[in-house]
């Protein structure tokens, strides 16, 4: 912003020196697309604000955040930081990013260093910070996020949740005036989530400006101000209480806090209580005498075995999963859930014991990983890693094509799967997957697995980054698959979603420490400990 334009914006904002970010009639469309992702968006964020931005998948929340920080280039004079810096001008970007930090929805999008402590140091080095102060910042930030024990570990060996914590630590270390958290808790277990929310609260209490992009209405309720976006436009901006008093939240694909897929409410560690008026799970399909889909027999697996970075994935685990049932794998970040799913899919092979998959044992050297993966496809935790086609329809069609499906049958498979997960075939088939929102990419990954019409489906965090209505839709898809006689195994951090499961296995440090049948316990399921306490000390920034 140069000359009279810059002077004009300074004059506009001079009436209120407390305004940190100003957005004025912002429109935005991605290159090569005629669809407006943002439509006439205006807002002001004052210093010390705690703003939650909510809305359905694809409503423009992440795009707005990236326009503010200059990762996307908005039209000139539509976004201003501190009244003088415009992200449309490259010369202003350094000052903007000193002022505003952003934690991305997918941590792998922002991790650049090889080692954990080097990742935190990267931003500090760019700020020209002295080495002694840099060491203090690194130590404090890693401690606050519970990552001190993995300080010298390669970033690629961290779990998805640990990578998300590392991304947060890297931003915190730079002490920006404002931090934008884009679904920063989506990959983190309840205890870690509570810690991060506590960090947000503490930072705001110390004067930091917090912008929290979230689908979780309980998280949004902690903010002093909530803005709702729908189809690229701002449809509400006010206090949380005023938002939750509105009768038509579902029209924006939102819901009241605590009403999504719950049949019980956590009242303490290991104890739950039925919630009045809660939705009952529809799981009348259970056949207790069904043969086994999967059986783990004394299974162990260690990542990077015989190295200084060795990490236990599973430790002498045994359990069985009947065919035609829903099984939920619950546990904290790094507890072994994803490892178990990858052993079922033969991405990994056990070091001890064996896994039986629909009657075939991994002890049999003739077992075919390709055949198993066709029968038991896996939707991984980070869908970005698995997407490689240029069109959404082709991405969903890839698996069925590998099965030999062609012509009209292939089109019908793709159409059915995309429609099931809430990505209408006619609207999304020609979209570039890389230009979809994080939640839409997750739905696409789920559709790619469902289209294979397999015997069993393995879903790793299938509801992460999804809006409340999309979560309900995916839970209904899981129930529908099992009604068709399929077996579904899914890993989740959210105990409430496990209420639809027939069997629940709780993982902790590579062990299965609890096995529960929901039907036998009257929905009284064990839960993860939830605490707002930070692991290694309170922030004092």
Q: For 378-390, what is the mean pLDDT?
A: 87
The strand order across the sheet containing 19-28 reads 38-46, 19-28, 79-81
For residue 539, the model assigns a pLDDT of: 56
pLDDT recorded at residue 451: 97
pLDDT at 270: 32
What's the rounded Cα separation, in Å, for the pair 326 and 286? Answer: 9
Mean pLDDT confidence for 378-385: 86
Q: What pLDDT was estimated at residue 372? A: 97
State the pLDDT at residue 35.
84
Mean pLDDT of 217-228: 94
- Please report the pLDDT score of residue 54 as a whole number: 95
- Domains of the chain, start order: 47-74+84-252 (3.40.50.300), 292-517 (3.40.50.300)
Helix (H, G, I), strand (E, B) or coil at 375: helix
* C-alpha closest to that of 52 among 241, 266, 190, 259: 241
Query: What average pLDDT does the chain have?
Result: 86
pLDDT per residue as tens digits for the range 238-292 = 999 999 999 888 899 888 876 544 433 333 323 233 333 334 444 444 445 679 9
Q: In the structure, what pLDDT confidence band is assigned to residue 74 with cuts at 50, 70 and 90?
A: very high
Q: What is the pLDDT of residue 16?
A: 59
* Residue 336 to residue 332: CA distance in whole angstroms: 9
Low-confidence winner among 10-24, 62-76, 406-420, 460-474 (lowest mean pLDDT):
10-24
Largest CA distance in the chain: 78
Is residue 318 over pLDDT 80? yes
- Please give the share of the chain, as a percent, with pLDDT higher than 70: 87
Between CA 113 and CA 155 the distance in angstroms is 7
Q: Is the pLDDT of residue 29 over 60?
A: yes
Classify 47 as helix, strand or coil: coil
Residue 63, CA atoms < 13 Å, CB-side half-sphere? 26
Element at 21 (helix H, strand E): strand 19-28
Under a CB-based contact definition with an 8 Å cutoff, are residues 474 and 482 in contact? no
CA distance readout (Å), 3 to 10, 75, 475: 11, 17, 55
* Higher pLDDT among residues 333 and 477, named by residue: 477
| Number of helices and strands in the chain (H, E) | 16, 21
Q: Which of 64-68, 135-139, 194-198 has the lowest mean pLDDT?
A: 194-198
Start-to-end CA span in the chain (Å): 33
User: How many residues comprise the chain?
Assistant: 541
193 near 201, Cβ under 8 Å?
no
| Interval 113-138: pLDDT, tens | 999 999 999 999 999 999 999 999 99
């Amino acid at each position: 912003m140069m000359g009279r334009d810059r002077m004009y914006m300074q004059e506009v904002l001079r009436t209120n020196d407390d305004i940190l970010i100003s957005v004025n009639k912002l429109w935005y469309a991605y290159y090569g697309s005629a669809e407006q992702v943002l439509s006439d968006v205006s807002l002001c964020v004052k210093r010390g604000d705690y703003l939650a931005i909510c809305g359905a998948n694809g409503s423009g929340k992440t795009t707005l955040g990236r326009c503010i920080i200059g990762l996307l280039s908005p039209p000139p004079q539509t976004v201003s930081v501190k009244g003088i810096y415009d992200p449309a001008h490259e010369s202003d970007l350094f000052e903007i990013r000193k002022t505003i930090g952003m934690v991305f929805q997918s941590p792998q999008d922002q991790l650049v260093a090889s080692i954990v402590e080097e990742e935190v140091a990267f931003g500090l080095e760019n700020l020209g910070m002295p080495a002694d102060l840099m060491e203090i910042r690194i130590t404090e930030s890693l401690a606050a996020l519970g990552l001190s024990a993995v300080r010298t570990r390669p970033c690629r060996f961290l779990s998805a949740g640990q990578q998300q914590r590392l991304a947060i630590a890297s931003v915190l270390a730079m002490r920006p005036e404002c931090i934008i958290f884009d679904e920063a808790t989506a990959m983190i277990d309840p205890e870690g989530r509570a810690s991060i929310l506590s960090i947000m609260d503490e930072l705001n209490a110390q004067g930091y400006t917090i912008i929290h992009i979230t689908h979780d209405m309980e998280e949004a309720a902690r903010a002093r101000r909530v803005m709702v976006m729908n189809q690229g436009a701002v449809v509400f901006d006010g206090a949380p209480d005023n938002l939750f008093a509105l009768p038509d939240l579902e029209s924006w694909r939102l819901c009241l806090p605590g009403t999504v897929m719950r049949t019980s409410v956590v009242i303490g560690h290991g104890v739950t209580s039925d919630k009045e008026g809660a939705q009952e799970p529809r799981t009348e399909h259970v056949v207790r005498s069904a043969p086994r889909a999967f059986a783990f027999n004394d299974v162990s697996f260690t990542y990077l075995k015989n190295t200084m970075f060795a990490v236990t994935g599973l430790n002498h685990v045994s359990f069985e999963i009947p065919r035609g049932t829903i099984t939920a794998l619950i546990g904290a970040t790094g507890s072994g859930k994803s490892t178990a799913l990858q052993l079922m899919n033969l991405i990994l092979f056990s070091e001890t014991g064996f896994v039986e998959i629909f009657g075939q044992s991994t002890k049999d050297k003739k077992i075919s990983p390709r055949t198993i993966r066709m029968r038991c496809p896996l939707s991984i935790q980070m869908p970005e890693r698995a997407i490689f086609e240029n069109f959404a329809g082709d991405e969903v069609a890839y698996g069925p094509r590998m099965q030999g499906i062609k012509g009209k049958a292939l089109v019908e498979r793709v159409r059915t799967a995309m429609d099931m997960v809430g990505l209408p075939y006619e609207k999304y088939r020609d979209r570039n997957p890389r230009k979809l929102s994080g939640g839409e990419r997750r739905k696409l990954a789920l559709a790619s697995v469902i289209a294979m019409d397999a015997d069993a489906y393995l879903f790793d965090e299938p509801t992460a980054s999804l809006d409340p209505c999309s979560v309900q839709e995916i839970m209904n898809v899981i129930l529908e698959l099992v009604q068709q006689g399929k077996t579904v195994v899914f890993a989740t951090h959210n105990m409430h979603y496990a209420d639809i499961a027939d069997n629940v296995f709780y993982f902790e440090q590579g062990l299965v420490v609890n096995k529960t049948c929901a039907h036998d316990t009257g929905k009284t399921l064990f839960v993860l400990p939830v605490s707002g306490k930070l692991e290694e000390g309170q922030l004092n920034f």
